[in-house]
């Protein structure tokens, strides 16, 4: 059984933090289909200090939205400390520190994956976080900043020394962003060097890629990211495969039911007027792989009212039943 500090996890399949995506409705729909530990998208320590409405929405949770991880993005010790103090009033179980985000504006601020260029700074910040946090602390890294500076093992050992309870590693460099080519060797090296759990991510799009990650790296758990887009069943699919059980792909009625449930969760959380535009990308992902959906995708992108989005979904069901 996977443990992160004193948190015992029922599954070694985790929903990765996903900026702009892993809000409460998304986490709940994935939990419905077998996800256990889920993460809130990364939160900048400065925006947390400003207590904006958006940040509060990000941290909204329910009793059933548990266990829950919160991820901080930051560089300045003072803001990080303040963010941890503010977070003590929120409900969640694991605190993660982001040293992996590749986005230009993040790296320019020396945050996220930029920190991989300063392993000692990561060590110092993590010591501060571990000392201040009342929850188990984890860290997320990439294999290195670019192909000439693969330093995940060095960074990982410093993270362990700072007292983190688990390490997440995305098997790409910052320079790679999300381009093909997961570096299984570096993840394996990191896993061999640490005694805390190592949780790997990178191209886990189905059960065979999940098995490949586990077999090639020996990692303790998997963090699912893009593989969950329009496919919350991925958790059940991987679990079934690892236990040698058969997994039946959802039929069109089941896909319809799941997307309807997801849409309704978004409506309840954000209100109907916002929900339609927020749901568009999810609709596109749910219908991926079905035939003749181009015009429905276009329709989903143009409708503005809740009833119209529901109608687009009903047409999808009728067309494929
Ligand atoms: C749209 C998007 C948003 C992401 N947001 C975050 C984030 O907030 N924090 C984080 O640590 N990783 C973030 N990631 C990285 C994923 O959590 C994951 O590590 C990465 O996508 C590799 O897994 P995959 O190849 O299976 O997608 C994001 C990835 C995507 C595609």
**pLDDT bracket for residue 93 (50, 70, 90):** very high
Q: Is the beta carbon of 165 within 6 A of some atom in ligand 1?
A: no
DSSP H or E segment with residue 141: strand 137-144
247 lies in some domain: no
Counting ligand 1 atoms within 8 A of each CB, the residue from 14, 19, 181 with the most, and so the one to mutate, is 19
The verdict on the CB of residue 140 being under 6 Å from ligand 1 is yes
Asked if the structure places residue 178 within a domain, the reply is yes
The pLDDT > 90 percentage for the chain reads 97
Query: Average pLDDT over the chain, rounded to whole?
Result: 97
How many angstroms is it from 18 CA to the middle of ligand 1? Answer: 5
- State the CATH number of the domain containing residue 20: 3.20.20.70
Which pLDDT value is given to residue 176? 98
Does the Cβ of 202 fall within 6 Å of ligand 1?
yes
Give the model confidence (pLDDT) of 22-73 as tens digits. 999 999 999 999 999 999 999 999 999 888 889 999 999 999 999 999 999 9
CATH number at residue 282: 1.10.1200.80
Q: How many Å apart are CA 283 and CA 229, to the nearest integer?
A: 10
CA–CA gap between residue 67 and residue 92 (Å, rounded): 7
| pLDDT of amino acid 195 | 98
pLDDT at 53: 87
Average pLDDT over residues 83-92: 96
Out of 14, 18, 95, mutate this one to test ligand 1's pocket (max ligand atoms within 8 Å of CB): namely: 18
- 216, 242, 268 — which closes off a domain? 242
pTM exceeds 0.95 for this model:
yes
- Catalytic positions, written as ranges: 101
Distance of CA 53 from the midpoint of ligand 1 (Å): 23
Residue reference for tokens 């929120």? 90
Q: Are residues 264 and 232 in the same domain?
A: no
In sequence order, what are the residues at sequence separation of 6 or more whose Cβ sits closer than 8 angstroms to the Cβ of residue 296? 287, 312, 315, 316, 319
* Interatomic CA distance for residues 302 and 273, integer angstroms: 13
Domain total of the chain? 2
- 95-130 pLDDT, tens digit per residue, is 999 999 999 999 999 999 999 999 999 999 999 999
How does strand 37-39 pair with strand 68-73? parallel
CA atoms 215, 219, 220, 221: torsion sign? negative
**Residue 65, Cβ neighbours under 10 Å: how many?**
16
**54-40-77 Cα angle (round to 5):** 80
Over residues 265-270, the mean pLDDT reads 98
Last residue of a domain, one of 242, 275, 297: 242
For residue 260, tell me if it sits in a domain: yes
Instruction: Locate the ligand 1 atom nearest the alpha carbon of residue 227 and give its number.
Output: 26
Which atom of ligand 1 approaches the CA of 172 most closely?
22
Percent of the chain with pLDDT over 70: 100
> Is 90 exceeded by the pLDDT of residue 1?
no
Confidence band (pLDDT; 50, 70, 90) for 269? very high
Q: Which of 49-58, 149-158, 312-321 has the lowest mean pLDDT?
A: 49-58
Q: Domain limits at 120?
A: 2-242
Question: Same domain, yes or no, for 126 and 210?
Answer: yes
| pLDDT tens digits for range 281-300 | 999 999 999 999 999 999 99
Average pLDDT over residues 71-77: 98
Whether residue 149 sits in one domain with residue 39: yes
Ligand 1 neighbourhood includes 176 CB (under 6 angstroms): no
Confidence of residue 239 (pLDDT cuts 50, 70, 90): very high
- Index of the ligand 1 atom closest to the CA of residue 171: 22
Long-range contacts, 20-24 (Cβ 8 Å, 24+):
21/229, 23/57, 23/58, 23/269, 24/60, 24/61, 24/62, 24/65, 24/265, 24/269
């Amino acid at each position: 059984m996977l443990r992160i500090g004193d948190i015992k996890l029922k599954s070694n399949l985790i929903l990765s933090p996903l900026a702009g995506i892993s809000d409460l409705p998304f986490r709940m729909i994935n939990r419905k289909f077998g996800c256990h530990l889920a993460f809130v998208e990364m939160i900048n320590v400065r925006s947390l200090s400003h207590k904006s409405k958006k940040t509060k929405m990000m941290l909204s949770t329910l009793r059933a939205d548990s266990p829950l991880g919160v991820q901080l993005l930051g560089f300045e010790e003072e803001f990080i400390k303040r963010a941890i103090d503010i977070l003590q009033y929120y409900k969640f179980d694991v605190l993660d520190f982001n040293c992996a985000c590749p986005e230009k504006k993040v790296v320019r601020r020396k945050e996220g994956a930029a920190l991989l260029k300063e392993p000692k700074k990561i060590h110092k910040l993590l010591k501060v976080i571990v000392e201040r946090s009342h929850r188990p602390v984890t860290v997320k890294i990439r294999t290195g900043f670019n192909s000439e500076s693969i330093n995940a093992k060095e960074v990982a050992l410093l993270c362990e020394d700072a007292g983190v309870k688990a390490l997440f590693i995305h098997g790409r460099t910052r320079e790679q962003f999300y381009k093909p080519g997961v570096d299984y060797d570096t993840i394996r090296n990191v896993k061999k060097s640490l005694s805390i759990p190592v949780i790997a991510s990178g191209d886990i799009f189905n059960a065979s890629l999940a098995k490949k990650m586990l077999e090639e790296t020996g990692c303790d758990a998997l963090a699912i990211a893009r593989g969950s887009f329009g496919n919350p069943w991925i958790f059940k699919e991987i679990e079934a495969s690892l236990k040698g059980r058969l997994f039946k792909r959802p039929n069109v009625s089941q896909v319809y039911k799941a997307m309807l449930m997801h849409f309704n969760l978004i409506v309840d959380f954000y209100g109907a007027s916002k929900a339609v535009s927020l749901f568009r990308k999810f609709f596109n992902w749910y219908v991926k792989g079905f035939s003749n959906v181009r015009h429905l995708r276009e329709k989903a992108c143009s409708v503005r009212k809740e009833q119209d989005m529901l109608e687009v979904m009903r047409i999808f069901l009728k067309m494929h039943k």
